[in-house]
Amino acid sequence: MNNLKEIKNERIGDKYFEIDHSSGLKIYVYPQKGRSSTYAVIGTKYGAINTKFKYKDSEEIITVPDGIAHYLEHKLFESEDGDAFSKYAKTGASANAYTSFDTTCYLFSCTENFEESLRILLGLIQSPYFTDENVQKERGIIGQEIKMYEDEPSWKVMFNLLGAMYKNHPVKVDIAGTIESISHINPENLYECYNAFYNLNNMVLCVAGNVNPEQIIKIADQCLKPSEKRVPETIFPDEPYEIVKERVEQHFEINMPSFQLGFKEKASTKKLTAKQICETDIILNTIASGSSKLYKKLLDENLINDTFGYEYFEGTGYAAVIFSGESKDPDKAAEIIKEYVKELHETGISNEDFERAKKDIYGRNVSMLNSPENIANAMLSLYFADRELYNMVECLANTTLEDVNNRLKEQLDVSNCALSVVLPIKDKEGK
């Protein structure tokens, strides 16, 4: 029996649908009449950090090689009856997939033949086909990908930062693993991970665009096989609050240095509430958006360019505020950011900055609802974080300056931050 619920928001004047499908899959449908395109994404709450897990009815702890979630993503496009990309080529859909630290997602966008493309998507995640031969073949392909990222400055500056912040948590390990770790991946452990985490009760399908919920339910009824609700729990090591090291650097054949400055927070297995996320969004906007005092200062001193940005990096057992960008003097830029944060802790955020940030974020959240791709991706990430699309808008509208300044007291500890820089090789040679 499928359960269909309509979710409305009076403030925005829009609605979408939540479906508890009889197979165990959660489905969200955001109809947008008149749209020429439709976007669909299906994801599982399983990513690079889920390498050690156990079932509730068993004491056995299962450990699998680093990089296996990414490897599995690659292999699911190949089935006994052909390659999924070849099938999408016939429908005209543009398809892709990605693995992050805690999710793996498969997606497509199209302007026609939507139902055929959705059937391909639902078939793809239910048709694992792993053999010694095809797993061995993929090892060379992924090995080349790993080597390519090892030479990518923007990738290394991030993972060097994570290594400087995290002592034990697997978030510090490259999503694709290492050449050594993927050598231990075989059909048996791929099937083990697939059966554990590609359970429909651990997944969500989000569709936005020129569609309706009845259309999606019909296809889901035809394509989905019910799953037993048995998803393992991931085991994470204890992670201390303190960073590992304050600074790490690496040299590349580049002209402009770049940096990432991370403020590590207390580890928690619980995701933040929508209210906490809204408060953090406002804090970071007041600090580092294009209209902030800090941004202007860094720009005036020629220490940043338009690559400068910020993010709240969070997941199970890890959380950090990260500022990043290109800079001719990354260390000086980092010191100015830390000094600004220290001063902000003493003065608090002003009402003027608070109101400006709140309006800016609210406007971006509402304008995001014009894009099927942004809507579907937001619904998916919010679902896995136990949050809801419209609730985020409501929380933002109801957040006060007092809330934000109280939240600020819990974040951006300047005594617990790490700096990762990548510098030109000529700087190394000049030392």
3-class SS of residue 8: strand
The phi and psi torsions of 285 (rounded to 5 degrees) equal -65, -40
Contacts (Cβ under 8 Å, ≥6 apart) of 393: 9, 11, 12, 362, 365, 366
Listed residue (51, 47, 41) closest to 73, CA to CA: 47
For residues 142 and 178, what is the distance between their CA atoms, to the nearest angstrom?
A: 9
The phi and psi torsions of 267 (rounded to 5 degrees) equal -75, 140
Is 346 annotated in the active site?
no
Q: CA-based diameter of the chain, in Å?
A: 70
Residue indicated by tokens 């690496």: 250
Cα-Cα end-to-end distance for the chain: 69
> Between β-strands 233-234 and 247-252, what pairing exists: parallel, antiparallel or unpaired?
unpaired
Tell me which of 73, 78, 265, 326 is the catalytic residue: 73
3-class SS of residue 26: strand
> Between β-strands 26-31 and 52-54, what pairing exists: parallel, antiparallel or unpaired?
unpaired
For residues 126 and 223, what is the distance between their CA atoms, to the nearest angstrom?
A: 9
CA 169 to chain centre: 17
Q: Which residues are catalytic?
A: 73
